[in-house]
Chain A
Amino acid sequence: MKRFISLNGKYPRSEALIRATRDHERGRIGKEELEKAYGADYDRLKSIQTGFSMVSDGLLNWQDIVRPFAYLVKEAQVGGLVRYFETNTFYRKIHFRDTTIRNDLDRWASEYFRFGNLAILPSPYTLSRFSEGISISRAGELIAAAVEYLRSNGYNYFFLQEPAIVYYEDTASLEDLGRALRSISRKAGDAMVSLNTYFADASPLIRDLLRMPVSAVGVDFTFTDIESLMEAGWNSDKGLVAGILDTQNSLMETEAVLSPVMEKIETGLRPMFLIYTGSSDFEFLPSSVADRKVEILRNLGGEI
């Protein structure tokens, strides 16, 4: 079984970049200086992922997991703040008016996908659920267009972030989600596409998730018991994106904590391939803490 490691979701900005974004907002520095600060953080991110098979830009300039899609379409309004699940963070609801894709996909992609070969995007259900005026199916088409463009520009790994479907246990929407994912996977061709769940126990929906037309499914093991996945029956040709580092707590996972989990996952679930990562976005941690957790990942062994 091949084992990899990767970042997950949005990565935290460094303290220097945080200062720069604040200074820019208050008019103390210009766009150029802000870009310089982003550049330094991108270099830092490249460096902490040295040797990784999957490299992400950490979505450093995304305001939240859905916001860039407001700028991909002809007309959408960015609305009020909504709590992001059970965290002390918030996203802004998008009100879609005209979901026709604008003609500058090129410019959009270069703004929101800065480097690497792992693209992290919202999954159709989460994008639709966090917005108004867009169906799961249309959300899937927007994401598919982005995936097609990114695939032809060197991206060969796609994480579709899908916390909402397990959090709300919305079985009624699974069929629509499956159809939307099919259109995305078609555009992704032979690239790896993972449907990443987090913030909730994945086991109640795992059989349905394993039937989805994707290469892998992501599970947050700070909410999900491995045995309940075994009981539900993992038997599948899918890979597993295993969130085994708690990204909502600064406590560093020790070998004594991680070894039994990994062993249970590898011998009990036997996924087609494994990607060890954080339980959700690393952004819930200050950057220095997140960097240390990535070091723990690096030391897990296996291919990276």
Chain B
Amino acid sequence: MRKPLLAHEIGSLAKPNWRVKAISGRPLSDEDLKEARRWGEFLDVETDELLSILGRRRNFTREEKDRIVYYSSLMAVRLLEKAGLDVVYDGEQHRVEMYEYPIKRIEGFEFYGHVRSFDNKYYRKAALVGPMKLKYPYHVEEFRRINSFARKPVKIPITGAYTLVDWSFDEYYMKDIEIGTRRGLERRKEARRQFISDMARNVIYPNLKALYDEGARVLQIDEPAATTKPAEVPDFVRGTVESVGDLRDRVFFAMHICFSDYSVLFPHIEGLQGIIHEMHFEYANRDSREPGRTERERIGYGILKELARYDFIVGLGVIDVHTDFIEPPELVRDRILYALEIVKDPERLYVAPDCGLRTRTWDVAFQKLRNMVEGRNMALREIGL
């Protein structure tokens, strides 16, 4: 997958109201139906069947719910295609979110309840209570469906081994480890490594392999927790190597790490060269909104100099996903051209939002992505490509 300044997305998009309400059992309003029709028309998606199902407003059958998810997936893919991206996905229309969805499909875990992430935001946390075993490769059906209608290459994101481990309790490997002793402290570290390694080999690799067997050639490993525990970065790297295994030369692997202290990744990520092809970080969130190509304006892109020393393709976040501010194409262009000064080779620089756009409306997400592609095109013109 080589193309100068290739443009792609990063994962999630918002789920349309009509999809959320239909799946959660809440009645649909006239407004919801109007939205479905509006987006269908805008994206050239035939919506007669969808509108006829949604017209019942509530009490959908399982088959009907599946068709509703099908249409939200189809529309999400068309949205990305219409925005002009080179690689597409459906914005997680088939999934709940990135932790609970995979954990429910792995034997050995038990959910205990919610823990707070911040303010009044919580997530359901599970504990590993027995041997871990993948129930079935959980993204294959999703890939099959998206690939059946996508007009561009499809990328499937998957939550990585380290993040699944870090966001879970461990009652299995930690069992009977003593507290307050050196030996206990050492055994805790070993238990943690084993947990990461088993998650990589027994869960993530089989998923990636199943996707490969189904025809997927572009896969993204999401590791938002990678830098949470700086001392464990080498374990995260090892877990990634084990997750990819013998697929390293057969699949294009992107890795996405966001909202992190990237400095702790260095120099350990050296070990991911040749395993991970594209390393995508978030930058726009830390950057100024001033156009320009100097360090003063591009204050959010400081870590690039460090990253560019390695042989990864640089996945460049140029769109801030936490704001409705629509980045003008000129700002995107300048972010890209600033980065290109450092990375040098346009085939080593891919363009994307900072992260998934699920907190933005489809209208905002579309405008942001369209401007991202326009900014990318302006940059290409400026470098004569």
A residues neighboring B (CB under 8 Å): 12-13, 15, 18, 21-22, 24-25, 63-64, 81, 83, 86-92, 221-228, 244, 246, 249-251, 253-254, 256-258, 260-261, 264-265, 283-289
Contacts and interface: CB of A to CB of B under 8 A. Distances in A.
B122 interface: yes
Contacts of A258: 179
A89 B176 contact: no
B181 A227 contact: yes
B175 to A, nearest CB: 7
Contacts of B176: 254, 256-257
A225 B180 contact: yes
A285 B115 contact: yes
Say what secondary structure dominates the interface of chain A. mixed
A82 B352 CA distance: 24
A88 B167 CA distance: 7
A86 B188 CA distance: 15
Interface in B95-137: 112-120, 122, 125, 127
B182 interface: yes
A61 to B, nearest CB: 11
A257 B112 CA distance: 23
Contacts of A250: 112, 127, 169, 171
Contact of B178 (A63, A88, A261): A261
B116 A13 contact: yes
12 contacts: A12-B115, A13-B116, A88-B167, A88-B225, A224-B180, A225-B180, A225-B181, A226-B180, A251-B171, A251-B174, A251-B175, A261-B181
A37 B169 CA distance: 27
Given A227-B182, A244-B179, A249-B170, A92 B118 contact: yes
A286 B178 contact: no
Given A88-B166, A225-B181, A251-B175, A81 B118 contact: yes
Contact of B228 (A25, A88, A249): A88
Contact of B171 (A12, A223, A249): A249
B342 interface: no
Contacts of B166: 88
A221 B180 contact: yes
A171 to B, nearest CB: 20
Nearest to B285: A80
A269 B252 CA distance: 56
B113 A289 contact: yes
Contacts of B170: 249, 251
A271 to B, nearest CB: 14
Interface residues of B, number: 34
A256 B176 CA distance: 8
Contacts of A285: 112, 115
A230 to B, nearest CB: 11
Contact of A223 (B117, B127, B185): B185
Contacts of B178: 257, 260-261
A102 B166 CA distance: 41
Q: Which 5 A-B pairs have the closest CB atoms?
A: A286-B113, A221-B180, A250-B169, A90-B118, A251-B171
Contacts of A254: 176
Contacts of B296: none
Interface of B: 112-120, 122, 125, 127, 166-167, 169-171, 174-182, 184-185, 188, 225, 228-230, 261
A15 B113 contact: yes
Contacts of A83: 228, 261
A286 B166 CA distance: 16
Contacts of A92: 118-119
B228 A261 contact: no
Contacts of A227: 181-182
A81 B174 CA distance: 31
Contacts of B229: 86
A261 B179 contact: yes
Contacts of A228: 182
A257 B175 CA distance: 10
A301 to B, nearest CB: 17
A89 to B, nearest CB: 6
Contact of B117 (A89, A224, A256, A257): A89
Contact of A253 (B119, B179, B185): B179
A91 to B, nearest CB: 7
B179 A246 contact: yes
Contacts of A288: 112-113
Given A83-B261, A88-B228, A244-B180, 8 more contacts: A18-B122, A89-B116, A246-B179, A250-B171, A257-B177, A264-B180, A286-B114, A286-B115
A80 to B, nearest CB: 10
B118 A283 contact: no
Contacts of A249: 127, 169-171, 174
Q: Which of A81, A89, A286 has the most CB of B within 10 A?
A: A286
A226 B116 contact: no
Contacts of A283: 115-116
A264 to B, nearest CB: 7
Contacts of A226: 180-181
Nearest to B182: A225
A225 B181 CA distance: 5
Given A83-B228, A87-B228, A288-B112, A222 B118 contact: no
